[in-house]
Structure 1
Amino acid sequence: MVFGWRRRKTSPHGNKKKKLRELAKMEFAIPDHFLCPISLDLMKDPVTLSSGITYDRESIEKWLEAGNFTCPVTNQVLGSFDQIPNHSLRKMIQEWCSQNQTHGVQRIPTPKIPVMAMEVSEILFSVSASTGRLDSKGCLESVQKIQKWAGESERNRKCIVMNGTANVLASAFDRFAKESFEKNASLCEEILSALNWMFPFDKETQWYLGSETSLNCMVWFLRNSTDLSAKQNSILTMEEVLSSGDHKYAEELAKIDGAKEILVEFIRKQVSPTITKASLMSIFYMASSSSSSLSEKIKFEFVEMGLVSLLVENLVDSEMGMAEKALGVMDELCGCEKGRRKAYENALTIPVLVKKLLRVSEVATGFSVSAIWKLCKFASREEERALVEALQVGCFQKLLLILQVGCGDETKEKATELLKLLNPYRAGLECIETVDFKNLKRSF
């Protein structure tokens, strides 16, 4: 049987459909002058520079923020960084989008005018004036306006922060808190909410927020507020102030009645991961206070509240961020005799600390080594079983591996001394858990 292959005739209807598709593509092509010269995307907020060239605002702002002083197209040095909205072109783009909705093009909404430095200065002047008069209502309205601007765009937030807003708000917070926590609770809560996206703080802002009055107000929110976000904003602001490195803020917080108990309770109840982590960091800053006598007193109080056992329980099953912070606090508490005694009493302490070696992060390993070193170095004759326990759960091999893969100088020094302390007890006591060494990479 013979098969004859013949060219199939093209249907006139097929040609018509093809032409319609090509025509649709041609109609859908975006006009060149609607495209941003930088991103080559359809402009949403066209602005014109002093060079006469129009760009999408987001693209040209990134260009200028990167330290460029020229027009990307003409390469001429810009005489001014002013970005003038091109309303005519924007309207043309919006009309074109409306005409091409059948092709899935969505109409670009009219962009909101970005806040200018002058407007920020004016609203901050209003905040300062209201603070001077103790006009909480007027101040609240100004802070809410700042919050509204911040919610509109990231650019607005940058503009607000760059003009010293955090400093003015911190001053207002301290002043109204000094008058009355309860009376000005709504205003203080709104200020804390605004300050939470203005990290990090400058020294003057930290000074206002680290005052006795301001810290008392934050503790008051932690104790009395029923709103979880208010508690979170308070403790995050508190943590940011304590992280400045100035120990006087941590020491001031430690003096406030009930502050330490609240932080421990947050760790016990696990209200939220954010609050728990911030509580751990706040305790860490207080426990590592520069004043040795005060630091010992603070550590003793935390140990008396059962924090050592609480940390061990949390470390059994915790994610990286939580484990790092918990180990940092544990290391600090093991620096005092009472803390070590409580650690010896808990059968899980040594196994958990050894388990965290090489398991979490370099930071966590450093804290774990330091805590184990303190427990072994300062162990009395009755407490020498800590060294035996460390060997039984594979501490010796892990320390050797830590030295091989690389670590910080302080960790290296403590790991080396630990090996010397453990070596006399090695005979017949070692245990290796190979699962801990999986996927381990050298640092060289």
Structure 2
Amino acid sequence: MAKSEKHKLAQTLIDSINEIASISDHHTPMKKHCGNLSRRLKLLIPMLEEIRDNQESSSEVVKALLSLKESLVPAKDLLSFVSQVSKIYLVLERDQVMVKFQKVTALLEQALSGIPYENLEISDELKEQVELVLVQLRRAIGKGGDVYDDELYRDLLSLYSDIGSVTESDMLRSVAEKLQLMTITDLTQESLALLDMVSSSGGDPGESFEKMSMVLKKIKDFVQTDNPNLDDAPMRLKSRLPKLQDGDQDRPVPPEDFRCPISLELMTDPVIVSSGQTYERECIKKWLEGGHLTCPKTQETLTSDTVTPNYVLRSLIAQWCESNGIEPPKRPNNSQPSSKASSSSSTPDDEHNKIEELLLKLTSQHPEDQRSAAGEIRLLAKQNNHNRVAIAASGAIPLLVNLLTISNDYRTQEHAVTSILNLSICQENKGRIVYSCGAVPGIVHVLQRGSMEARENAAATLFSLSVIDENKVTIGAAGAIPPLVTLLSEGSQRGKKDAATALFNLCIFQGNKGKAVRAGLVPVLMRLLTEPESGMVDEALAILAILSSHPDGKSVVAAADPVPVMVDFIRNGSPRNKENAAAVLVHLCSWNQQHLIEAQKLGIMSLLIEMAENGTDRGKRKAAQLLNRFSHFNDQQKQQSGLGVEDQISLI
């Protein structure tokens, strides 16, 4: 019963933390405080996953988890409040809000301190990670609000205190920019937030809310004066439908996605900016030339002023026009497929027309067209980074992902997954592939059922994507680890290499170690260690060193009689293999002292002394750790029976 309750509690806590982390705080003056709190809570997830999956349980652990669950409620409430409340209020009442943060932080620190870590089967690394969170929480309690923008506070306080006075435009501009109140939508949302606070006060907000509203009006008047065309700015609330000519009252209204978010007109030359949003080229060109550095729709800071044609959308618009009896919009002759919005293209137009043609073939109902298009995109994406950016920005990734699961043609699958592999080489594409396009389940599908070459490239793709830490979690949760273990065991030589590199990267994340152990990875690794001809010894030993730090990993590794193998690597292996073998023994010997006696009997002491003196830096550290464990164990035995380790061995 306790085990079932513990499992449910731990999962509830994981879900709660993920929900808290998903609360938007990007546009609040307290975003740093919100981000720090969310980040610290997310660091607890690996520990909670271990607690959830461990077999042992106790009423004391359950009680501690319940306390942590209770402490998360005010944390979630506070972040929800901060993400929705008036920005002006947050700045002017920053001390009051900060007290709430400190109270929430203190509750979390108290709950974490009450967890009986000595009764939990979690790794030393996780205990250190939780201790780090505790240190950060305690520091946050004592530090208070020392990360404020004091200049913003002083300027806003000046506006608040001197409502009737004339205010310098520079101050208003600074306040509006820092609070991100530069568009009609932003100003309207801030007004609604103040209105909600008035409503929640029972209709009697007092003088402070009235003065905050007057401050907002001052900011709004300045922004509208500074930007006379604000009514035509992006994200305005009032929606304007495309203009209809006389006699065109029955003309169908284009879908919202076909209209530019700035002009709200049907797009003739849609282009994608670095935030992933699509605009009419001329509209975004004027926006960028006006000195704006953000995406008009999302307000994200643009990493580049380069725009890329959205060929797929352009084709869909043309198809919609044709099906509705409307003349398709004509693209301007000076369209620049991939360039700054205001500069000339450095890439031949026919190259981009070729990409557009290939994307249309990907959506074809003819398998031959899909296969040939995916193959050509595979080659284009392999050539250079410019092609990778252009292909991804044009909307190719979702179409390739679709082919991973719907195509019954092995060759098409292989081309599609390899195209995604080549596109993932570009750092900007990794997040888009995993999150925007949801490619991981499709890649795992190919890894399970594709041809050997497709499985190899699927494994390589997962390795490429897992370079980003957040992706490790997503890939592990999608069920990628069992088929990777199968490929490591049964694949071709290249397949084994690809699977090993992917598994190594994924198992760096604590939460994936248990998944790998349960998928049967340890026996496969031990077998590869005894097969030098496999060429997989280095990779197998490196992964084993990671898994042996996991509670379940230790027990499974120990059952495989690893000590003689590890001692032999310390005696005859390469410098890298020596340090990994020593790392395995460090974890095993801290778990079961019988391994110390066995290793001593095999003559490890002289090997460790040599390694401590002449090994690699990591090897020296691991050798020193083992020597310390031998010394400590020897002292214990002397105290208990007057016999040292060597004496005990002589009696065995």
Q: Identify whether the pair has TM-score above 0.5, normalized to the shorter chain.
A: yes
Indicate how the Cα distance of structure 1 residues 163 and 148 shifts in structure 2: closer, same or farther if over 3 A, else same.
closer
Partner of 2:545: 331
1:328-371 deviations in Å (ceiling 9; x for gaps): 22112211222112222222x11112222264433322222211
The alignment covers a number of residue pairs equal to 290
Residue in structure 1 matched with residue 486 of structure 2 by the alignment:
265
User: Is residue 341 of structure 1 aligned with residue 555 of structure 2?
Assistant: yes
Q: RMSD across aligned C-alpha pairs, in angstroms?
A: 3.5
1:94 is aligned to none
The worse-fitting range, judged by mean Cα deviation, of 277-286 and 319-328 is 319-328
Q: Pick one of 228, 231, 237 that aligns with 2:455.
A: 231
Which of 593, 604, 628 in structure 2 is aligned with 1:395? 604
Change (3 A) 1:337 1:253: same
Q: 1:321 to 1:174 in 2, by over 3 A?
A: farther
- Identify the match of residue 357 of structure 1 among 559, 563, 570: 570
**C-alpha separation between the residues in 1 aligned to 2:540 and 2:551?**
19
Paired letter, 2:588 = L
User: Which of 626, 643, 651 is the equivalent residue of 1:418?
Assistant: 626
Greater Cα offset, 181-190 or 335-344: 181-190
User: Of the candidates 391, 395, 398, which is equivalent to residue 168 of structure 1?
Assistant: 391
User: Deviation at 1:394?
Assistant: 2.7
What per-residue deviation string (whole Å, max 9, x for no partner) do you get for residues 51-75 of structure 1? Answer: xxxxxxxxxxxxxxxxxxxxxxxxx
State the SS of the aligned residue for 2:584: helix
1:177 maps to which residue?
A: 401
Out of 522, 525, 528, the position equivalent to 1:311 is 525
1:239-259 Cα distance to aligned partner (Å, 9 max, x none)? 2222x2x222121111124x3
Distance 1:177 1:149 in 2: 17
Distance 1:147 1:301 in 2: 32
Alignment of 1:243-282 (within 5 A): 244=467, 246-257=468-479, 259-268=480-489, 270-282=490-502
Which residue of structure 1 lines up, in the alignment, with residue 428 of structure 2? 204
The structural deviation recorded for 1:372 is 1.0
Change in CA separation of 1:144 and 1:317 when aligned onto 2, cut-off 3 Å: closer
> AA paired with 2:526?
V
- TM-score normalised by L of structure 1: 0.56
For 2:408 and 2:389, locate their aligned partners in 1 and report how far apart those are by CA, in whole Å: 18
| Distance change in 2, residues 1:358/1:208 (3 Å) | farther
2:3 aligns with: none
Structure 2: distance between partners of 1:333 and 1:121: 47
Aligned counterparts of 2:353 and 2:503: Cα–Cα separation in 1: 39
Q: Which residue in the other structure is 1:222 paired with?
A: 447
Identity of aligned residues (%): 17
Distance 1:321 1:401, change over 3 A: farther
Matched residue SS, 2:491: coil
Local SS of the residue matching 2:405: coil
Deviation digits for residues 367-396 of structure 1, max 9, x if unmatched? 2221111111x22xxx31100111122322
Calculate the TM-score normalised by the size of structure 2: 0.40
Among candidates 412, 427, 433, match of residue 646 of structure 2? 427
Gaps of 5+ in 1: 1-115, 151-156, 432-444
* Structure 2: unaligned runs, 5 residues or longer: 1-345, 635-643
Q: CA deviation at 1:230?
A: 1.5
